[in-house]
Structure 1
Amino acid sequence: MPLDSHYQMQLLKDILSNHQTDCCGSVSECEQVERLVKSLMVNADINENIKPVLQEIYQYGQSGAGSSDLDTHITSNRQNLSQWVSDMDQFS
Protein backbone atom coordinates (compact mmCIF):
# COMPACT_ATOMS: atom_id res chain seq x y z
CA MET A 1 0.00 0.00 0.00
CA PRO A 2 1.60 3.31 -1.06
CA LEU A 3 2.00 6.13 1.43
CA ASP A 4 -0.14 9.22 0.91
CA SER A 5 1.56 12.58 0.44
CA HIS A 6 1.19 13.53 4.11
CA TYR A 7 3.11 10.46 5.25
CA GLN A 8 5.66 10.81 2.44
CA MET A 9 6.32 14.39 3.56
CA GLN A 10 6.62 13.28 7.19
CA LEU A 11 9.04 10.49 6.29
CA LEU A 12 11.13 12.91 4.23
CA LYS A 13 11.24 15.38 7.13
CA ASP A 14 12.24 12.57 9.52
CA ILE A 15 15.15 11.48 7.33
CA LEU A 16 16.36 15.07 6.84
CA SER A 17 16.01 15.82 10.56
CA ASN A 18 18.00 12.72 11.44
CA HIS A 19 20.74 13.72 9.00
CA GLN A 20 20.81 17.22 10.49
CA THR A 21 20.94 15.94 14.08
CA ASP A 22 23.28 12.97 13.62
CA CYS A 23 25.53 14.41 10.86
CA CYS A 24 25.56 10.98 9.28
CA GLY A 25 23.37 8.78 7.13
CA SER A 26 23.39 6.05 4.54
CA VAL A 27 23.33 5.85 0.78
CA SER A 28 20.01 4.01 1.02
CA GLU A 29 18.55 6.96 2.96
CA CYS A 30 19.71 9.33 0.23
CA GLU A 31 18.12 7.07 -2.38
CA GLN A 32 14.92 7.02 -0.32
CA VAL A 33 14.99 10.85 -0.25
CA GLU A 34 15.21 10.84 -4.05
CA ARG A 35 12.26 8.44 -4.39
CA LEU A 36 10.10 10.38 -1.93
CA VAL A 37 10.79 13.69 -3.67
CA LYS A 38 10.03 12.21 -7.11
CA SER A 39 6.72 10.91 -5.84
CA LEU A 40 5.83 14.22 -4.16
CA MET A 41 6.76 16.30 -7.20
CA VAL A 42 4.17 14.59 -9.39
CA ASN A 43 1.46 14.74 -6.74
CA ALA A 44 -1.22 17.32 -7.58
CA ASP A 45 -2.06 17.79 -3.88
CA ILE A 46 1.37 19.26 -3.09
CA ASN A 47 1.57 23.03 -2.60
CA GLU A 48 3.39 24.58 -5.59
CA ASN A 49 5.46 26.74 -3.21
CA ILE A 50 7.24 23.69 -1.80
CA LYS A 51 8.34 22.32 -5.18
CA PRO A 52 11.54 24.44 -5.44
CA VAL A 53 12.51 23.20 -1.97
CA LEU A 54 11.80 19.62 -3.01
CA GLN A 55 14.06 20.12 -6.03
CA GLU A 56 16.89 21.24 -3.74
CA ILE A 57 16.27 18.22 -1.49
CA TYR A 58 16.35 15.94 -4.53
CA GLN A 59 19.76 17.36 -5.51
CA TYR A 60 20.95 16.81 -1.94
CA GLY A 61 19.83 13.16 -2.04
CA GLN A 62 21.36 12.61 -5.47
CA SER A 63 24.68 14.16 -4.45
CA GLY A 64 24.68 12.20 -1.21
CA ALA A 65 23.99 8.89 -2.91
CA GLY A 66 27.00 9.44 -5.17
CA SER A 67 29.29 10.98 -2.55
CA SER A 68 32.55 9.32 -1.59
CA ASP A 69 32.27 10.93 1.87
CA LEU A 70 28.60 11.00 2.82
CA ASP A 71 29.13 12.26 6.37
CA THR A 72 30.99 15.33 5.08
CA HIS A 73 28.23 15.91 2.51
CA ILE A 74 25.62 15.81 5.28
CA THR A 75 27.64 18.03 7.62
CA SER A 76 28.20 20.62 4.90
CA ASN A 77 24.42 20.76 4.35
CA ARG A 78 23.36 21.03 8.01
CA GLN A 79 21.98 24.55 7.62
CA ASN A 80 20.12 23.56 4.45
CA LEU A 81 18.65 20.50 6.16
CA SER A 82 17.27 22.63 8.96
CA GLN A 83 15.87 25.19 6.52
CA TRP A 84 14.27 22.54 4.31
CA VAL A 85 12.46 20.93 7.24
CA SER A 86 11.26 24.36 8.35
CA ASP A 87 10.06 25.16 4.82
CA MET A 88 8.22 21.85 4.59
CA ASP A 89 6.49 22.54 7.91
CA GLN A 90 5.38 25.91 6.58
CA PHE A 91 3.90 24.59 3.32
CA SER A 92 2.57 21.18 4.29
Structure 2
Amino acid sequence: MPLQYNDQVNILKDILMNHQTDCCGSVSECEQMERLIKSLLTNANIDQSNKSVLEQIYSYSQNGKNSANLDQHIESHQQQLSQWVDHMDQFS
Protein backbone atom coordinates (compact mmCIF):
# COMPACT_ATOMS: atom_id res chain seq x y z
CA MET A 1 0.00 0.00 0.00
CA PRO A 2 1.59 3.29 -1.07
CA LEU A 3 1.99 6.10 1.42
CA GLN A 4 -0.29 9.09 1.07
CA TYR A 5 1.12 12.60 0.61
CA ASN A 6 0.65 13.63 4.26
CA ASP A 7 2.25 10.38 5.45
CA GLN A 8 5.30 11.02 3.26
CA VAL A 9 5.63 14.58 4.56
CA ASN A 10 5.28 13.42 8.17
CA ILE A 11 7.91 10.68 7.79
CA LEU A 12 10.32 13.09 6.14
CA LYS A 13 9.74 15.64 8.89
CA ASP A 14 10.26 12.97 11.58
CA ILE A 15 13.61 11.93 10.11
CA LEU A 16 14.74 15.56 9.87
CA MET A 17 13.65 16.23 13.45
CA ASN A 18 15.55 13.14 14.63
CA HIS A 19 18.68 14.33 12.84
CA GLN A 20 18.23 17.75 14.39
CA THR A 21 17.69 16.58 17.97
CA ASP A 22 19.97 13.51 18.03
CA CYS A 23 22.78 14.95 15.85
CA CYS A 24 23.18 11.50 14.33
CA GLY A 25 21.55 9.30 11.74
CA SER A 26 22.03 6.38 9.38
CA VAL A 27 22.66 5.84 5.69
CA SER A 28 19.30 4.04 5.45
CA GLU A 29 17.56 7.18 6.78
CA CYS A 30 19.27 9.23 4.07
CA GLU A 31 18.17 6.72 1.46
CA GLN A 32 14.62 6.77 2.80
CA MET A 33 14.57 10.58 2.61
CA GLU A 34 15.68 10.37 -1.02
CA ARG A 35 12.86 7.95 -1.88
CA LEU A 36 10.28 10.10 -0.10
CA ILE A 37 11.48 13.26 -1.83
CA LYS A 38 11.47 11.62 -5.27
CA SER A 39 7.88 10.61 -4.67
CA LEU A 40 6.86 14.03 -3.31
CA LEU A 41 8.42 15.82 -6.28
CA THR A 42 6.08 13.96 -8.62
CA ASN A 43 3.11 15.65 -6.94
CA ALA A 44 1.85 18.41 -9.23
CA ASN A 45 0.35 20.34 -6.30
CA ILE A 46 3.70 21.20 -4.71
CA ASP A 47 4.66 24.83 -5.27
CA GLN A 48 8.12 25.96 -6.36
CA SER A 49 9.17 27.09 -2.88
CA ASN A 50 8.45 23.64 -1.44
CA LYS A 51 10.19 21.95 -4.39
CA SER A 52 13.26 24.05 -3.68
CA VAL A 53 13.28 22.90 -0.03
CA LEU A 54 12.83 19.28 -1.09
CA GLU A 55 15.75 19.60 -3.50
CA GLN A 56 17.93 21.03 -0.72
CA ILE A 57 17.00 18.14 1.59
CA TYR A 58 17.65 15.66 -1.23
CA SER A 59 21.13 17.10 -1.70
CA TYR A 60 21.70 16.95 2.08
CA SER A 61 20.67 13.29 2.16
CA GLN A 62 22.85 12.38 -0.84
CA ASN A 63 25.87 14.10 0.65
CA GLY A 64 25.11 12.51 4.01
CA LYS A 65 24.94 8.94 2.76
CA ASN A 66 28.22 9.44 0.88
CA SER A 67 29.92 11.21 3.78
CA ALA A 68 32.86 9.60 5.56
CA ASN A 69 31.37 10.85 8.85
CA LEU A 70 27.57 11.08 8.71
CA ASP A 71 27.19 12.37 12.27
CA GLN A 72 29.57 15.26 11.55
CA HIS A 73 27.64 16.00 8.33
CA ILE A 74 24.41 16.16 10.36
CA GLU A 75 25.99 18.38 13.02
CA SER A 76 27.25 20.80 10.37
CA HIS A 77 23.69 21.20 9.00
CA GLN A 78 21.87 21.95 12.27
CA GLN A 79 20.70 25.40 11.15
CA GLN A 80 19.35 24.08 7.83
CA LEU A 81 17.67 21.15 9.59
CA SER A 82 15.85 23.60 11.85
CA GLN A 83 14.73 25.69 8.89
CA TRP A 84 13.60 22.62 6.92
CA VAL A 85 11.61 21.25 9.86
CA ASP A 86 9.90 24.62 10.27
CA HIS A 87 9.18 24.77 6.54
CA MET A 88 7.66 21.28 6.49
CA ASP A 89 4.58 22.69 8.26
CA GLN A 90 3.73 24.53 5.02
CA PHE A 91 3.43 21.25 3.11
CA SER A 92 0.11 20.28 4.65
Length-normalised TM-score, structure 1? 0.95
State the number of aligned residues.
92
Cα deviation 1:14-71 (Å, max 9, x = unaligned): 0000000000000000000111111000112333320000000000000011011000
User: Per the alignment, in what secondary structure is the counterpart of residue 15 of structure 1?
Assistant: helix
Q: Counterpart amino acid of 2:37?
A: V
Alignment of 1:49-88 (within 5 A): 49-88=49-88
8 Å CA contact retained: 1:49, 1:91: no
8 Å CA contact retained: 1:37, 1:54: yes
In the TM superposition, structure 1's runs of 4+ consecutive aligned residues that sit over 6 Å from their partners are none
User: Per the alignment, in what secondary structure is the counterpart of residue 25 of structure 1?
Assistant: coil
Unaligned runs of 5+ in 2: none
RMSD: 1.0
Q: What's the % identity of the aligned pairs?
A: 63
Unaligned runs of 5+ in 1: none
Quote the residue 1:25 is aligned against.
25
In the alignment, is residue 43 of structure 1 matched against residue 43 of structure 2? yes
Q: Counterpart amino acid of 2:23?
A: C
8 Å CA contact retained: 1:5, 1:46: no
User: Per the alignment, in what secondary structure is the counterpart of residue 33 of structure 1?
Assistant: helix
Q: Counterpart amino acid of 1:7?
A: D
User: Per the alignment, in what secondary structure is the counterpart of residue 50 of structure 2?
Assistant: helix
Length-normalised TM-score, structure 2? 0.95
